[in-house]
Amino acid sequence: MEKAKLKYILDDLDHYTKSYHVFAKKSSKFTGLVKWVEDVFPKLVLDKLVESFSAETQINVLGVGSGSGEMDSKMAASIKTRFKSVRNVVVEPGEKQLEKYRSLVESKKSEFEGIEFDLRQLGIDEYRALEGNHSSKYHFINAIQSLYYADDFNDTIRYLYDCLEEGGILLITIISDISGSWRLWNHFPRLQDIIGPYFCVQHLRQGLSSHDIPFHDIPFDENHQRAHVDITSCFEKGSKEGKLLVDFISQIVDFHGSASPEFYKEVVDYIGSEECSERKEDGTILYNNDWDAVVAQKPISK
């Protein structure tokens, strides 16, 4: 029996943000993403925008679940190098995430010259409801590791595509089908009973195809990104960091305190098993956090 009812981490956004930032730190996530924006983004997205729109265009960007903005703001800055100006609307429900995003923008004013950030504390479903039948159009929309949290995954894909200008680009990144998290949720359907259905790149591809949305056949090495998280502290007794990592990976608030000791052990053992992680000779345990990027460009009608 559980000690308390297991609570989905999204029902406590402050806890989500706290555990997410520990997870990001242990994965060098932001450094990896920033490198991706420097190395892959220009070819995957920027060059295509340049082909479709004149340099005088104000590029309207929508960021969905942009978190504290480390990757989003880099993408906006990259776009600004080729266009006159950029307006970046951000839809992010986490108050603490937006506080960090604001500080980032404030601290790098010169880097973001010519870019207007419009940060809105909303989930994508609230945004949709507010926009009604006349949704704004965007030249570039990104959902970086956030589409899982939309009320209706498949319909949100269609909605975001509909919000594109002709020639506009939708970039979605999502966990790969060989990632530890995807394996974990498949292995423990009980977790999905609490957090709802979860999704990986296969569902994204199926979703795009089900709406007849053409997406790019990106070479595997550009589309698929190797990533790992050092989860060694999850196995250190009493480690606060380890507990937060387990909370983010299981997507349950205080999993240690609220799950039965048997279920906790079963889940944590699985997280550290070779299904999800690699054990190094020095004892470090690296959780597989591979992700994929998929890009869809709306054709320009003749």
Ligand X SMILES: C[S@@+](CC[C@H](N)C(=O)[O-])C[C@H]1O[C@@H](n2cnc3c(N)ncnc32)[C@H](O)[C@@H]1O
Q: Which of 22, 62, 83, 93 binds ligand X (CB under 6 A)?
A: 93
For position 182 contacting ligand X by CB under 6 A, the verdict is no
Helix axes of 13-26 and 95-107: crossing angle, nearest 10 degrees:
50
For position 180 contacting ligand X by CB under 6 A, the verdict is no
Q: Which of 27, 73, 145, 181 binds ligand X (CB under 6 A)?
A: 145
Task: State the nearest-atom distance from the C-beta of 108 to ligand X, in Å.
Answer: 16
For position 64 contacting ligand X by CB under 6 A, the verdict is yes
Task: State the nearest-atom distance from the C-beta of 280 to ligand X, in Å.
Answer: 25
Nearer to ligand X, 104 or 178 (CB): 104
Select from 39-47, 144-152, 161-169, 205-213 the region that touches ligand X (CB under 6 A): 144-152
Site string for ligand X, 124-143 (x = CB under 6 A): xx------------------
| Amino acid letter for position 277 | S
How far is residue 236's CA from residue 232's CA, in Å, rounded to a whole number?
7
For position 32 contacting ligand X by CB under 6 A, the verdict is no
Distances (CA, A) of 110 to 25, 78, 91: 26, 14, 23
Residue ranges in 190-219 that form contacts with ligand X under rule CB under 6 A: none
For position 149 contacting ligand X by CB under 6 A, the verdict is yes
For position 79 contacting ligand X by CB under 6 A, the verdict is no
For position 289 contacting ligand X by CB under 6 A, the verdict is no
Distances (CA, A) of 178 to 186, 189, 224, 276: 11, 17, 11, 8
Rg over CA atoms, the chain: 19
For position 67 contacting ligand X by CB under 6 A, the verdict is yes
Size of the residue set binding ligand X (CB under 6 A): 23
Provide the token pair at 106: 């404030």
123-131 LR contacts (CB < 8 Å, sep 24+): 123/91, 123/93, 123/149, 123/150, 124/64, 124/65, 124/91, 124/149, 124/150, 124/156, 125/150, 125/151, 125/156, 126/93, 127/91, 128/159
Q: Which of 15, 52, 59, 65 binds ligand X (CB under 6 A)?
A: 65
How far is residue 69's CA from residue 73's CA, in Å, rounded to a whole number?
6
Which residues of this protein are in contact with ligand X, per CB under 6 A?
10, 13, 16, 20, 64-67, 70-71, 91-94, 97, 123-125, 144-146, 149-150
